[in-house]
Amino acid sequence: MDAERAIEIRPAPDTGYLALLRVLFRHYPARSVLGASLMISQSFLYNAIFFTYTLVLTKFYGVDAASAPWFLIAFAVGNLAGPLAIGHLFDTIGRKQMIAGTYVLSGILLAVTAALFQAGVLSAVTQTIAWCVIFFFASAGASAAYLTVSEIFPLEVRAQAIAVFFAIAQCFGALGPVIYGHLIGDGSQPGKLTIGYLLGAAVMIAGGLVAWFLGIAAEQKSLEDVATPLSLVRMDRPRYQPPKPRPRAAAPRVTGWGRG
């Protein structure tokens, strides 16, 4: 370990939830908006699509309930492939660019899928392929969103921050299956579900825009550089000091003779 990057901290008592909320929303309001937006948008979309997909397969595509799990396995493969394939880009290209890009792209693809669904050109297989492509990107972005919440706040509250934003996200995410289940109904009105898909697309695009404007460039940085620890006493790291401007030479004095 580089001794020049050592820091000195003091033992601190456990942070209660009131103190935690004060740290999150008073000292880091923009980061709290970022974390909440990323967690809420991905939770809403994932819960809405995944937990109602069996209903879509059986009511709109006539898939037998016993065969529906095979489509869900394909859906799960797409979710897993995204983080494995492009996860490293969040550390090379950058957190802000990749999170915003994956969120917005998955929202756009969902809007395209909604139009195809409304046109009646999708089948159970092509619908599942569409979900695999969409969640290839959405799952990678969502995975990074969880890590974002854990790295943009001080060390002492990282775990609690995840818990707080996860709980907030689940309150909104739980609405997804309820709303989409109502829109699915008995499967006789696909237009209602199309509106739901467009709503999910708008939510993801909004989350991506928040990431673009409020995102933190935390890639390849230590956690102490991203957020100063609450218990910091002293930091020995060399800090950037801008060069001091050189004093200007005095202008030559003009005598009366030189004025003409």
Instruction: Walk along the chain (260 residues) and give the pLDDT tens digit of each residue.
Output: 556 666 676 766 666 778 888 889 999 999 999 999 999 999 999 999 999 999 999 999 999 999 999 999 999 999 999 999 999 999 999 999 999 999 999 999 999 999 999 999 999 999 999 999 999 999 999 999 988 988 999 888 888 899 899 999 999 999 999 999 999 999 999 999 999 999 999 999 999 999 999 999 999 888 888 988 877 765 555 443 444 555 555 555 544 444 43
Q: Does a structural domain hold residue 201? A: yes
Q: Does a structural domain hold residue 11? A: no
According to DSSP, the β-strands at 7-9 and 232-235 are antiparallel
Longest distance between any two alpha carbons in the chain, whole Å: 106
CATH number of the domain that 203 lies in? Answer: 1.20.1250.20
For the chain, what is the domain count? 1
| DSSP assignments along 171-227, one per residue | HHHTHHHHHHHHHHTTSS-HHHHHHHHHHHHHHHHHHHHHHHHH----TT--HHHHS
Q: What is the pTM of this model?
A: 0.85
Q: Does a structural domain hold residue 154? A: yes
Q: Yes or no: say if 45 and 176 are a contact pair by the CB < 8 Å rule.
A: yes
Q: Which two tokens stand for residue 187?
A: 């499967």
70 Cβ contact partners less than 8 Å away, ≥ 6 residues apart? none
What is the per-residue pLDDT across 17-32, written as a single tens digit (0 to 9) for each?
Answer: 788 888 899 999 999 9
Q: Does a structural domain hold residue 238? A: no
Note the pLDDT of residue 16. Answer: 76
Q: Does a structural domain hold residue 96? A: yes
Note the pLDDT of residue 158. Answer: 87
Q: Does a structural domain hold residue 253? A: no
Note the pLDDT of residue 96. Answer: 95
Q: Which domain holds residue 74?
A: 17-230
- Cα(127)–Cα(193) distance, rounded to whole angstroms? 14
What is the per-residue pLDDT across 198-251, written as a single tens digit (0 to 9) for each?
Answer: 999 999 999 999 999 999 999 988 888 898 887 776 555 544 344 455 555 555
23 Cβ contact partners less than 8 Å away, ≥ 6 residues apart? 15, 153, 154, 157, 230
Q: Yes or no: say if 166 and 34 are a contact pair by the CB < 8 Å rule.
A: no
